[in-house]
Amino acid sequence: MDRPRRFRDRSEAGRILAAKLLPYANRSDVVVLGMPRGGVPVAFEVAQILHAPLDVLLVRKLGVPGNNELAMGAVALENICILQSDVIQHLGISESMIEEVATRELKELARRKEIYRGSQPPRDLKGKTIILVDDGLATGSTMLAAINAMKRQNCGRIVVAVPVAAAELCEKFKSEVDEIICASTPASFYAVSHWYENFAQITDDEVRELLHRANKEISPCA
């Protein structure tokens, strides 16, 4: 286990994470998928160093009403919904409230799909080795939704890669994917943002620019 440290920003975190993913470099079967928005700058650095194509995986956290930072689940466009039953039961969140939040977040996913991809179809991932990248794991619900979306794509192999997460959560994900790589697993996790000196919100324009740069600078391996 690495000694816990704070990353300067998501770009530095991506470069450090990429060093642990070098066995996947220069392979024609590898595709890096960033989780918008915060995971995309991390994924961009990983894709650059591995010389792999970069795309986004559209997944949204379901925030608890009145406390959006606390996740009660996550949704993906492929009619996928992952719920944190312990959070829902503890806070007494109603089914109608969950549906209201899920509907709102699905609309946001549709909006982002249009901004990030437009009329461009999603990449064919069948048989590919997928590296799912986010800027960290908190509850893990968003990543679980992403994993379920990937399993429906008949991928050849699924790898979850994050700069920071609680050790017990990384252990839990071992049964969900083929490999999980956590660059740092601090004993006292607190929150993803705690492990970054600069954790500024990423904009849609920044995501779009990074995707454009990746497609321009990296020759697709597919």
Q: Which of 55-59, 65-69, 171-175 has the lowest mean pLDDT?
A: 65-69
Q: Does 125 map to a domain?
A: yes
Question: Quick check: 222 pLDDT over 50?
Answer: no
Q: Between 213 and 216, where is the model more confident?
A: 213
Read off the pTM. 0.87
Does residue 203 contact residue 37 with C-beta atoms inside 8 Å?
yes
Q: Which domain holds residue 38?
A: 10-217
Q: Does 137 map to a domain?
A: yes
Mean pLDDT of 22-44: 96
CA separation for the pair 118, 105 (Å, rounded): 19
Mean pLDDT of 9-23: 97
What digits encode the pLDDT tens for the residues 70-110? Answer: 888 888 877 788 888 888 999 999 999 999 999 998 898 88
Q: Does 5 map to a domain?
A: no
Nearest Cα residue to 75 out of 97, 123, 33, 107: 107
Model confidence at 120, in pLDDT bands (50, 70, 90)?
A: confident
CA 9 to each of CA 6, 112, 138, 197, 212: distance values in angstroms, whole numbers, following the listed order: 9, 23, 17, 6, 21
Nearest Cα residue to 55 out of 155, 130, 154: 130
Q: Does 198 map to a domain?
A: yes
Q: Does 222 map to a domain?
A: no
Q: Does 1 map to a domain?
A: no
Model confidence at 138, in pLDDT bands (50, 70, 90)?
A: confident
User: What are the φ and ψ backbone dihedral angles of 187, each rounded to 5 degrees?
Assistant: -65, -40
CA 84 to each of CA 64, 76, 156: distance values in angstroms, whole numbers, following the listed order: 10, 15, 28
Q: Does 79 map to a domain?
A: yes
Model confidence at 217, in pLDDT bands (50, 70, 90)?
A: low
| Most confident range, picked from 93-102, 111-120, 127-136 | 127-136
Q: Does 161 map to a domain?
A: yes
Model confidence at 1, in pLDDT bands (50, 70, 90)?
A: very low
Question: Quick check: 162 pLDDT over 60?
Answer: yes
Per the structure, the count of domains in the chain is: 1
For residue 102, what is the domain's CATH number? 3.40.50.2020
Question: Quick check: 168 pLDDT over 80?
Answer: yes
Residue for token pair 């994470």: 17
Model confidence at 3, in pLDDT bands (50, 70, 90)?
A: low
CA separation for the pair 156, 48 (Å, rounded): 22
Instruction: State which H helix or E strand residue 137 sits in.
Output: none
Does residue 24 contact residue 53 with C-beta atoms inside 8 Å?
no
Mean pLDDT of 206-215: 91
